[in-house]
Structure 1
Amino acid sequence: MSSYLIDSDSDDYYVATIGQNRNHMALTGENSTGESDDGRCHSSSSLIPPEEEHVVAQSYRTSDEYETSWKHILKAPLRAIQHQPENIQVEVPETAVDVKFSFRKLWAFTGPGFLMCIAYLDPGNIESDLQQGAIAGYNLLWVLLWATFLGFCLQSLSARLGSVTGKNLAEHCREEFSFAPRITLWLLIELAIIGSDIQEVIGSATAMRLLSSNFIPIWVGVLITGLDTFTFLFLEMYNLRNLEAFFGFLVTTMAVTFWYMYFSIWPQPDEVAKGVLIPGCNNCTSEAGSQALGIVGAVIMPHNLYLHSALVLSRNIDRSNKATVKEANMYYAIESAGALIISFFINLAVVAVFAEAFFGENDATLSKAGDMIDDRFGKFMSIIWGIGILASGQSSTMTGTYAGQFVMEGFLDIRWPRWKRVLLTRTIAMLPTLMLALFALTSLEVVSSWLNVLQSILLPFAILPVIAFTSKRSIMDTFVSPVPLRLIFGFLSIGLVGINFALIYISVKETDLPLGVLILLSIIAVFYILFIIYISFGYIIIGRVNAAQSRRAVNG
């Protein structure tokens, strides 16, 4: 396993290949090597630390003939992916002991939160926002606010789990659960990733069609989006901070485009404030109630908790020092709060624009929104909208790919080269999307609505493990969640399960299903509840019973 450190104040890579002699070939140019006064080998592209036990650092030369050949130039991107470094880390600067807060340190920790917040801005969320505004006006902005706050609490728990233990949520699931429940949970989270990916890829393809004046069909946009998610591999290869900066640029693009529309249309400020601050829904229809329940599933993505617990591992902190870990948790919480505040105001802008301009148009969807804006405000405004949706779709598909890697690697302990993991996770997620774009294009609105319901149904399988693990002293040590916090999250989890059953009831009630299907759904609901009980605390009870039986067998 290789580990890499990136100095947060420079672009130099400190490379050490640990446990094995790994061949990292130079892509272009001849690296000149030498030795500094402290004995550290160095080259023009990297600084290699002093040799330690089981550490081998090498540099490789290539001939001028090979370097200038056209085959070498064409194959350079493929070699870059194949030999991409693993476990790239950002070095955190040291500060004086008496310094309680440092903006320089906060900057070093800034990055994971902005990758995390993109799941709150994916095309599924944007569609939920515009439907919320068109159906309920400003009335449900308070639901969006509190759903985002709940998301912050859960993301903070996820970040703490990774920061304290040095392992992501999927890895803890592999260690804590037995084989059958572990595989079941992995399949459910993969299903959540596929569901969100369908919305993200279709959203990105919809933006391409809008920006190309219908020249690029949806299925071609799906293929383009599926291929360009490999972009993040190249960005991460050169510098992890470049990757984080790229995602920051996409978030900024969404903020600029959607808030440009907000200031151009200028929704009523007093109505926006009332919608955010005063709970309730005056003169709302049953559709508005369903929309309120669906907001939770649209805002908080199950796979995002798994992603965030892995992203925080990119910072190099001394986990043996509890003061350092506590400080890291503080900075991660501040960074996550800032990123989610930005995401909330972006979502608010979309809701307010559609509440002001399209209230009462209950058939508003992401695929129709561009034409609606074009008809009402002109081509330029629809282009602005399309750019924002394209940034949303591109960024979310890349983070979805990232999440798929961490989930598969964590649950199954797969140690493939990164390009193989990306190819597999992309293929798993892309095939259903492509089939939908080719054969069920007219049903995209219905599918998207059901996918939001699916995300809400699968959400407990991310929330409950992270709550359970952060409540175990054997995992978190002194950073274990206090009892009041456990109780609060326990009641929230019960409420969330209740929301899920309400969503299922409303969705089934609106659909005339045969009796056999209803019986099947009832059976699935029973297993759903039993599995929730197992991953919440049942696995602990079963483990204790098995341990007691083993002790009795030994003593007997």
Structure 2
Amino acid sequence: MGIAIEKPDQDPTGWKKNSSMPSLPEVHHSMKVPKKAGFFRKLLAFVGPGYLVAVGYMDPGNWATDLAGGSQFGYTLLSVILISNLMAILLQALAGRLGIVTGRDLAQACRDHYSKPVSFGLWILCELAIAACDLAEVIGAAIALQLLFGIPLIYGVILTSLDVLLVLLLQKKGFRYIEAMVISLIVVIMVCFIMELIFSRPEFAAVAAGFIPRAEIVTNPAMLYIALGILGATVMPHNLYLHSSIVQTRKIEPTIQAKKEAIKFSTIDSTVALMLALFVNAAILILSAAAFHSAGKEVAEIQDAYHLLGPMLGTGAASILFAVALLASGQNSTLTGTLAGQIVMEGFLNIRLTPWLRRLITRLIAIVPAVIVIGMYGESGATDLLILSQVILSLQLSFAVIPLVTFTSDRKKMGELVTPKWMAILSWFVAIVIAGLNVYLLYSTFFGK
């Protein structure tokens, strides 16, 4: 059953080119929003996209930095997780605004604004970032399968690639099914960490104090390096492309008032979902601090954390819950990463491929390097690959953030719904901070701490 393709309804004068097809055409405007309904019923209609975005903020790529930060410095770096999350909330609100107002996702907006060579270069960088992100997610899920069931890492990587079939199956039934699957896995992750926090018995006064920024984070080079790692790994570039697309699954009226309302509900959705991501990231660091820092053990490897949690907390359930949460996190992230790959390829290149072929290409870009490296170098190679993936993500981030802030601050492109001045100033400040921190992180990675 075909879905009617609707062209963007905004005044195109601010764009050099017009997108010829909507983002994710098979689900574009496929979900109705009630016109005459109360606040909560309307909000419920918009709930979903924020949770697909949130999984990128709790993916396995974040776990290593959170574990290292907690085991080395206790609760001190909780403030860095909080600040990173506030930055993410702001940027995701911009991504949702761009999609709702312009009818374009971020990839289409770049293609319609920049020259072909610039657009092509941004596409290559974005594909590298998605592949890097996929590597972290696929390897994380494979590690969880190995810890839980003893499945060799290389077979676990191949198994996680089957999410391509799952996305296709769920999307055929309707986009709501994908959202329901993702939200269910988030609930699994949260339940696991609530149990972990009960087992670990953290000092709540010290936890509360950890959310207050301290000068030593900047003055202590080792602490600063991990703090930058947390910041660099938190805001994922592919999430900005993803969010600007999936907000368009809701069918709203092409009026200023309807779009204002959609922006409001979309922002509430993503903000609440990202607060849940804050809980998960903070819980990983708190767990690490309570279990390892208090015992004087430094832990950065996911496998080490799994093996040590049971003995140190006095219950084998702690290790099992940790691995189950990791598996849910990895699988959730690969689902959304696959969708992001489709959005980016279609948006930048304006090509039409059948959904299964698009997703197969996207998945192979991540799976092939992981299989080759694990096959040649074993598990140590997988760890090195995880580190490399975070460096690539750091390099790409500004190439997504700066166009996003530029477009949403442009009155010609956004009309009456341009980003408010205070929000635009804050967004540019965040963009500059992220760019500066990531340059420093890259320098530190290649030339030493």
Q: If the length of structure 2 is used for normalisation, what is the TM-score? A: 0.91
Picking from 343, 366, 386, the partner of 2:277 is 343
Contact 1:88 1:240 in 2 (8 A): no
- SS of residue paired to 2:416: helix
Residue 316 of structure 1 and its aligned partner are, at CA, apart by 0.2
Contact 1:135 1:287 in 2 (8 A): no
Moved more, 184-193 or 475-484: 475-484
- SS of residue paired to 2:419: coil
Distance 1:278 1:176 in 2: 39
Unaligned runs of 5+ in 2: 8-24
Which position in structure 2 is the counterpart of 1:461?
399
Which position in structure 2 is the counterpart of 1:221?
156
- SS of residue paired to 2:30: strand
Superposed, 1:241-252 pairs within 5 Å as 241-252=176-187
Picking from 252, 261, 266, the partner of 1:317 is 252
Residue 282 of structure 1 and its aligned partner are, at CA, apart by 7.0
Q: Are residue 352 (structure 1) and residue 286 (structure 2) matched?
A: yes
CA deviations on 1:278-335 (whole Å, 9 max, x unpaired) are: 434479853221110111121100111000000100000012x111100000000111
Picking from 61, 66, 71, the partner of 1:134 is 71
Q: Are residue 416 (structure 1) and residue 353 (structure 2) matched?
A: yes
Which position in structure 2 is the counterpart of 1:61?
none
Q: Name the amino acid aligned to 1:399.
A: T
Distance 1:443 1:177 in 2: 38
Which position in structure 1 is the counterpart of 2:309?
373
Distance 2:205 2:290 in 1: 12
Which position in structure 2 is the counterpart of 1:237?
172
Q: Name the amino acid aligned to 1:395.
A: N
Which position in structure 2 is the counterpart of 1:143?
80
Q: Are residue 175 (structure 1) and residue 116 (structure 2) matched?
A: no
Picking from 16, 31, 41, the partner of 1:90 is 31
Distance 2:35 2:218 in 1: 56
The alpha-carbon distance between structure 1 residues 241 and 217, as it changes in their structure 2 partners (threshold 3 A), is same
Q: Name the amino acid aligned to 1:376.
A: M
Moved more, 446-455 or 326-335: 446-455
Q: Name the amino acid aligned to 1:324.
A: A
Q: Are residue 450 (structure 1) and residue 384 (structure 2) matched?
A: no
**Root-mean-square deviation (Å):** 2.1
Moved more, 177-186 or 440-449: 440-449
Which position in structure 1 is the counterpart of 2:10?
none
Distance 2:316 2:78 in 1: 28
Which position in structure 2 is the counterpart of 1:430?
367
Distance 2:366 2:387 in 1: 18
More helix by share: 2
Moved more, 479-488 or 415-424: 479-488
Residue 509 of structure 1 and its aligned partner are, at CA, apart by 2.8
Picking from 114, 126, 135, the partner of 1:189 is 126
CA deviations on 1:510-549 (whole Å, 9 max, x unpaired) are: 28xxxxxxxxxxxxxxxxxxxxxxxxxxxxxxxxxxxxxx
Which position in structure 2 is the counterpart of 1:508?
446
Q: Are residue 114 (structure 1) and residue 48 (structure 2) matched?
A: no
Moved more, 351-360 or 328-337: 351-360
- SS of residue paired to 1:93: coil
Distance 1:482 1:91 in 2: 28
Which position in structure 2 is the counterpart of 1:530?
none
Higher normalized contact order (CA 8 Å, seq sep 6+, divided by chain length): 2
Q: State percent identity of aligned pairs.
A: 38
Residue 397 of structure 1 and its aligned partner are, at CA, apart by 0.6
The alpha-carbon distance between structure 1 residues 340 and 241, as it changes in their structure 2 partners (threshold 3 A), is same
Q: Are residue 275 (structure 1) and residue 210 (structure 2) matched?
A: yes
Distance 2:308 2:373 in 1: 24
Residue 255 of structure 1 and its aligned partner are, at CA, apart by 0.2
Which position in structure 1 is the counterpart of 2:94?
157
The alpha-carbon distance between structure 1 residues 283 and 90, as it changes in their structure 2 partners (threshold 3 A), is closer
The alpha-carbon distance between structure 1 residues 257 and 145, as it changes in their structure 2 partners (threshold 3 A), is same
Q: Name the amino acid aligned to 2:180.
A: A
Length, aligned pairs only? 428
Q: Name the amino acid aligned to 1:243.
A: I
Contact 2:129 2:392 in 1 (8 A): yes
Residue 365 of structure 1 and its aligned partner are, at CA, apart by 1.1
Contact 1:267 1:352 in 2 (8 A): yes
Which position in structure 2 is the counterpart of 1:39?
none
Contact 1:139 1:280 in 2 (8 A): no
The alpha-carbon distance between structure 1 residues 229 and 267, as it changes in their structure 2 partners (threshold 3 A), is farther
The alpha-carbon distance between structure 1 residues 504 and 278, as it changes in their structure 2 partners (threshold 3 A), is closer
Contact 1:90 1:315 in 2 (8 A): yes
Distance 1:471 1:282 in 2: 32
Residue 487 of structure 1 and its aligned partner are, at CA, apart by 2.7
- SS of residue paired to 2:211: helix
Residue 166 of structure 1 and its aligned partner are, at CA, apart by 1.2
Distance 2:217 2:404 in 1: 36
Q: Name the amino acid aligned to 1:329.
A: I
Contact 1:137 1:352 in 2 (8 A): yes
Residue 443 of structure 1 and its aligned partner are, at CA, apart by 3.3
Return the index of the structure with the highest Cα Rg: 1
Q: If the length of structure 1 is used for normalisation, what is the TM-score? A: 0.74
Residue 489 of structure 1 and its aligned partner are, at CA, apart by 2.2
Contact 1:138 1:275 in 2 (8 A): yes
Distance 2:76 2:177 in 1: 40
The alpha-carbon distance between structure 1 residues 357 and 280, as it changes in their structure 2 partners (threshold 3 A), is farther
Distance 2:222 2:213 in 1: 20
Residue 143 of structure 1 and its aligned partner are, at CA, apart by 0.7
- SS of residue paired to 1:87: coil
Q: Name the amino acid aligned to 1:248.
A: I
